[in-house]
Structure 1
């Protein structure tokens, strides 16, 4: 069975992962069939690059992505695109759907930033209140 998984590269405390197609029996950093992308978790925001045609090929022949790689593929939108292709949608429909997906992704990230800023503000207010209470 072929798995699509992460292979660690980079140096100590600064990991860079290659997304590879490999036999499920081979070790994590061992023999692999093909490099199909990279993942840099230390970049802000995380950097994921994929060879979309090769990911599509390997998943088409039955390769199973690990949970982590599946989530990385999902964040790029490729998983949604492959699902649309498997349902027989035309290229025009797929491009329209992917533009909508990108817009919703931007909207979700904006909402997340608003929630984060509210939490930070509430935490600052709580700390200020606690500091004022301890002084009195």
Structure 2
């Protein structure tokens, strides 16, 4: 069975992963069939590059992605695009839907970033109040 999985590279404390198609029996960093893409989790934001044609080929011939790789492929929109092709939609419909998907994705990321900034601000104000109370009590 062929798996699409991560192959670790990089150095200590700075991981860099290759997305590879490999035999399920091969070790994590061992023999593989083809490099499909790259993933840099230490970059801000995470950097994902995937050769969509090769990933579609391997998924088409029955390769099973691991859960992490599936989420990375989903983040690029490839799974959504492949599902639309499988349903028989035209290229124009797919292109329009992918533009809509991209817009929704950027909106979702902006909302998530706004929530994070609000939480950081609330944490800072809470810490400042606690500091003020500690100095008041002395």
TM-score range, shorter chain: over 0.9
Q: TM-score, normalised by structure 2?
A: 0.95
Residue equivalent to 1:55: 55
Counterpart for residue 25 of structure 1: 25
Task: Write the distance in 1 (CA, Å) between the matches of 2:20 and 2:48.
Answer: 13
In structure 2, the partner of 1:135 is: 135
Give the 3-state SS of the residue equivalent to 2:89 in structure 1: coil
Hey, what's the Cα distance between the residues in 1 that align with 2:132 and 2:9?
49
- Equivalent position of 1:13 in the other structure: 13
Separation in 2, partners of 1:128, 1:50: 44
Runs of 4+ deviating beyond 4 Å: none
Match of 2:85 in 1: 85
Whole-angstrom CA distance in 2 between matches of 1:65 and 1:36: 12
Per-residue CA distance 1:60-118 (angstroms, 9 max, x = gap): 00000000000100111111111111111110000000000000011011101111111
CA distance in 2, matches of 1:34, 1:130: 55
Count, aligned residues:
136
Equivalent residue for 1:37? Answer: 37
Task: Determine the C-alpha separation between the residues in 1 that align with 2:116 and 2:57.
Answer: 38
Which consecutive residues of structure 1, in runs of 5 or more, have no partner in the other structure? none
> Tell me, which stretches of 5 or more residues in structure 2 are unaligned?
none
C-alpha RMSD over aligned residues: 0.8
